[in-house]
Copies of this chain bind each other. A is one copy, B any other.
């Protein structure tokens, strides 16, 4: 309802960090947008890096929650991976700044990685667990003969690039393909990825396979 100040700060910080990047956003700007004085930010977060970490952790947590069910659901690796991709797309679509924030974070390995901010290492670990789970599903699919013997890390990189980037592409993407977050665009993205997985990674379908 009335979001707490902390949540309000996280919301505006997420949008700003996604739009202008870590170095490009001033705490003054965040505070103003949250309706607070700059000093008040430091009562909720000890530093700028910590605020960024908290924002990032919250985003990754949302994705984790959404993909958890899909990855552990019954059904073969094929169904699990498809459901996970759909869940990821849905999460990114519901939280428009998320995709850009994630990719920007990957690019900031210099400014952010060496930092020992606890929120950042928490977010890192969360992401590692999530990726490990996806890798496990793909590996299982290969061993079961459902997937071609592809390189798992490269497949994950392709997945990230093909799923996350379009939702982070902003004005450029809109000039190319129209409204990014429209229902049709989201559906097109799911179809694009799913057919790519289907034809590119799966073996030609033989009857009686568990999907």
CB distance from A166 to the nearest CB of B (A): 4
Q: Is the CB of A158 within 8 A of B153?
A: no
Q: Is the CB of B154 within 8 A of A161?
A: no
Q: Which residue of B lies closest to A104 (CB)?
A: B107
Partner of A153, one of B21, B165, B176: B176
Which residues of the partner chain B approach A110 to less than 8 Å between Cβ atoms?
A: 19-20
CB distance from A162 to the nearest CB of B (A): 5
Decide yes or no whether A155 CB sits under 8 A from chain B: yes
Partner of A188, one of B131, B154, B156: B154
Q: Is the CB of A165 within 8 A of B154?
A: no
- Which one of A29-37, A73-81, A87-95, A194-202 is at the interface? A194-202
Given A100-B107, A169-B106, A172-B109: A192 in contact with B24 (beta carbons within 8 A): no
Q: Is the CB of A176 within 8 A of B131?
A: yes
Which residues of the partner chain B approach A162 to less than 8 Å between Cβ atoms?
A: 158, 161-162
Decide yes or no whether A4 CB sits under 8 A from chain B: no
Q: Is the CB of B154 within 8 A of A192?
A: yes
Q: Is the CB of B170 within 8 A of A161?
A: no
Decide yes or no whether A58 CB sits under 8 A from chain B: no
**A residues whose Cβ falls under 8 Å from a Cβ of B:** 19-24, 100, 103-104, 106-111, 113, 131, 150-151, 153-158, 160-166, 168-173, 176-178, 188-189, 192-193, 195-196, 198-200
**20 further A-B pairs in the complex, CB-CB below 8 A; given A21-B22, A161-B163:** A20-B110, A21-B24, A23-B24, A106-B168, A113-B171, A150-B192, A151-B192, A154-B177, A154-B188, A154-B189, A157-B166, A157-B176, A158-B162, A158-B192, A158-B193, A158-B196, A161-B164, A164-B165, A196-B200, A199-B200
